[in-house]
Amino acid sequence: MSFFLDVERSVLGRPWRARLNNAGEAQALAIGQVSGQSDLMARVLAGRGVKLEEVALYLDPTLRDLMPDPFTLRDMEPATARLALAVKRGEKIAVFGDYDVDGATSAALLAQYLNDCGCETIVHIPDRVIEGYGPNVEAMRAFAAQGAKLVVTVDCGAVSHEPFAEARRLGLDVIVFDHHQAPELLPDALALVDPNRQDDLSGLGYLCAAGVVYMALVALNRALREAGFWNGRAAPDLIAALDLVALGTVADVVPLTGLNRAFVVKGLSVMRARRRPGLAALLDVAGADGPPRPYHLGFLLGPRINAGGRIGDSGLGVKLLMTRDDLEARGLAAELDRLNRARQQIEIAMLESAEAEALLALGLEERGACVVVAGEGWRPGIVGIVAARLKERFNRPAFVLALNGAEATGSGRSIAGVDLGRVVRAAVEAGVIVKGGGHAMAAGVTLARDRLGDFRAFMEERLAAGVGEAQANASLEIDSALTASAATPALVHSIERAGPYGAGNPEPVFVLPRHRLVDVVAVGADHLRVRAASGDNQTIEAIAFRAANNPLGEALKRLRGSAVHLAGALTINRYGGREKAQLRLLDAAVVER
């Protein structure tokens, strides 16, 4: 098997391989010759499985072409009928959402639409520490006391048996819009719409909750129109709501394929118009450069909206997304930015402690299929972030648990090719943990403190084969090689047309062969800024995030002045009104002499 530039082992221990095999090379050639795309763009498209006849639609995805009939989702018909009845009656409707970005955007989408229909809504995002994840009995009682007749849960609810039993006892109807993996025995709800329930055949399991809710609003809008509800007045603008769908889709790291790509492309276009005061204010306070891009959604907006649920008021994110007042939006954005800075400081301390415990558990040779660490005083709202950092550091699934009395609650993050949600559901069914759920790349768990050892053993046993296979097959796939002089802003803008990139639609990776490391400088907390020169002395700047103390950073510092192969993704660096192409470094390899 051949290696790209003969790199069998990079500084991060990975082989480099060309993304395109022989069939892919032929496909790229055909795309370039017939569609008129550049050779590099043709390679990018072919590398993402785009066929010749799909090029035009892929580069300009439209909802009209990609939106399926919402009623292909199981239980969408009874859900739509009950929502339409509630709207016609003007019922008070309770919306219960999860405390992450997907939950906040889903709740805002639904509540804002219902408000525009003239309904009064109660929007509730649970307190992570006091209430925990998902619907609870106390919330159902509070909704009934406030006069609600219908409860709609978004981004949660697929496993909420006891709360829904209480809701039924209180005379409340319950509708669930979720996307997490659901057990075979579903809770008692009037309708449970979840493309990942076992009897759903829609093929839409890649949607986030915001995408599922948007499908429901399309169905509801149609039902109300057919009933004559909108006669004489304008229906809510569902296109204008796509900014929230795009944010939820990117932040929840679901595959950016099919309908999701259209959601994000069109949602970014809506966001550029800055018609939603909360998002405009948050982009400003976060210092976003240029028009909104997926990077801004995932790394600037998402963490700040999450910050409320992690260490502050869980409802701040929904309030920000729903407000139509510029002054209130600026105040909420400033508070979320402050909470995010505080979260970062807590994260640094927790990560240091968790990493030390992980090293102790794995041993000097870092053996084991899974990292499971737990600590007293760890913030429940931060454990997911720390788990993601440990997953990156040790290249295996990681769980971080906060100990609170006799209970341990936490989050897990997985590596590509290892379905964590499935194994967590198996742990629930085996009685190892009290409750848990999630999807392939992320999951949440609650277990008795004295079952920590059992949980570790269960994860090791169930994940060993999958993690071993995933690690053995791990390689860095390269789209093409180019030089510093070829890396221009125009090139970056052209390949962005095949985006947005993310889960399921990997960003192109390019190699700069034999470029001399002119300079390697530490910036920020643990990043490195690199300047590299090609053989004709053309230079390019590169940035290696969180690399100062890992093998990549150590190699870059050691090889300063030498010629190396640099691998990374091309981005735009905007500074002082000018644009420059920049390489976001992912790996490097020593040039074999």
Question: Domain extents for the chain?
Answer: 4-19+479-590, 20-56, 66-273, 363-472
pLDDT score recorded for residue 502:
86
CB proximity list for 60: less than 8 A, separation 6 or greater = none
DSSP code per residue over 356-394? HHHHHHHTTTT--S-EEEEEET--TTTHHHHHHHHHHHH
Per-residue model confidence as pLDDT tens digits over 101-128: 999 999 999 999 999 999 999 999 999 8
* Cα separation values, 223 from 78, 140, 178, Å: 12, 28, 21
Is the whole-model pTM more than 0.85?
yes
Contact of 447 with 432, CB cutoff 8 Å: yes
CB proximity list for 551: less than 8 A, separation 6 or greater = 11, 12, 13
Buried b (16+ CB within 10 A) or exposed e, 16-41: bbbbbeeeeeebbeebbeebebeebb
CATH architecture of the domain with range 66-273: Alpha-Beta Complex (3.90)
Distance of CA 559 to the CA centre of its chain: 35
Q: 370 φ, ψ to 5°? A: -150, 145
pLDDT score recorded for residue 1:
58
Supply the mean pLDDT for the chain. Answer: 94
Buried b (16+ CB within 10 A) or exposed e, 460-474: eebbeebbeebeeee
Residues of the chain with pLDDT under 70: 1, 364-365, 593
Q: Reduce the DSSP state of residue 10 to 3 states and report it.
A: coil
Contact of 197 with 186, CB cutoff 8 Å: yes
Task: Give the position of tokens 């199981």.
Answer: 74
In whole angstroms, give the CA distance from residue 257 to residue 503.
8
Tokens of 290: 């240029």
Query: So what CATH class is 4-19+479-590?
Result: mainly beta
In whole angstroms, give the CA distance from residue 507 to residue 92.
44
Task: Give the position of tokens 């639904």.
Answer: 110
CATH of domain 363-472: 3.10.310.30
CA-wise closest residue to 321 among 93, 111, 20, 467: 111
Rg over alpha carbons for the chain, rounded to the nearest Å, is 24
Task: Give the position of tokens 């909704």.
Answer: 143
In whole angstroms, give the CA distance from residue 291 to residue 300.
13
In whole angstroms, give the CA distance from residue 369 to residue 465.
8
Contact of 86 with 119, CB cutoff 8 Å: yes
Tokens of 520: 């390697």
Q: Reduce the DSSP state of residue 445 to 3 states and report it.
A: strand
